[in-house]
Amino acid sequence: MNNVNLSNVSRRRFIAAAGFGAATAVFAPHLLFAQESGIVPTMINEAARAKIEVHPLRRNISVLEGSGGNIAVLTGKSGKLLIDSGFTVSRARIAAALDDLSSDPVVRLINTHWHIDHTDGNAWVHSAGATITAHENTKKRLSTTTRVEGWSYTFPPAPAGAIPTTVFDEEHHVHHNDTRIALRYYGPAHTDSDISVLFEEADIIHVGDTWWNGFYPFIDYSTGGSIDGMIRATGRNLTVVTDKTIVLPGHGPVGNKAGTTWPS
Ligand SMILES: [Zn+2]
Ligand SMILES: [Zn+2]
């Protein structure tokens, strides 16, 4: 995947791949027409067909791949904590994957940023019993009509149950299932709502859409993203991770500081 030469593929085709989690998807013939049929509906259709893959990482933390952005899951006696909620169309398969991990109920959800491929499932995860924590701009974007020019799509306000109820500005700490979790705002990067989520003991960090493993990221200029912000975020990611850190990208396979897949 890292060897794919993307230099002569148009930016719009990168955008068309947003949410599929695989650079090879860029070249799948039926996806080359994603922009004609609408990027957001295409992402949702893709999620509706996708299998949910579960990969154990370290300690009691796993990743679910296949529905929008990568979903991290912390299990334990206090209930499951999720990072991001994927697309609603994947609800049955995500719920089944969560049940396979453990019988603990879902009690907490953290959003890495406001985009639909990371928050569409918020409402059902909340109805299942989870409180939602995010950066204050995630709440702001989900609470109102928001257009993403890069996707030619205008999102209506999210339902009340999908809106984060705990928000923060720069930094927030959570202690859950004997695990310390540090949430830190990037400043404007991929959007103006991006945070990193670090599981301290396990040394696993979810960097949201500030990193797409194996292919060029989408930058959402409509809601505060910029190339300079993405470079700053990447610089911070490289500073805070070590060679041992497991790095969860927003899209693409689980990786590490070298930018390769984990385990390598
Ligand atoms: Zn995403
Ligand atoms: Zn995003």
Q: Indicate the pTM of the whole model.
A: 0.88
Cα–Cα distances in Å, from 2 out to 19, 55, 253?
17, 20, 11
Rounded CA separation 117/11 (Å): 19
The SS3 of residue 100 is helix
Phi first, then psi, for residue 14 (nearest 5°) are -60, -45
Asked whether 69 and 251 are in contact (CB, 8 A), the reply is yes
The SS3 of residue 164 is coil
Ligand 1: distance of its center to the CA of 118 in Å? 6
Ligand 2: distance of its center to the CA of 117 in Å? 7
The SS3 of residue 222 is helix
For 34-62, the pLDDT digits (tens) are: 445 789 999 999 999 999 999 999 999 99
Neighbours of ion ligand 1 (CB under 5 A): 69, 117, 209, 250
Give the distance, in angstroms, between the CA of residue 246 and the centroid of all CA atoms in the same chain. Answer: 15
* pLDDT computed for residue 23 by the predictor: 40
Ligand 2: distance of its center to the CA of 107 in Å? 24
Which residues of the chain fall below pLDDT 70?
Answer: 1-36
Ligand nearest to the CA of 71: 1
Phi first, then psi, for residue 185 (nearest 5°) are -75, 140
Average pLDDT score, the chain: 89
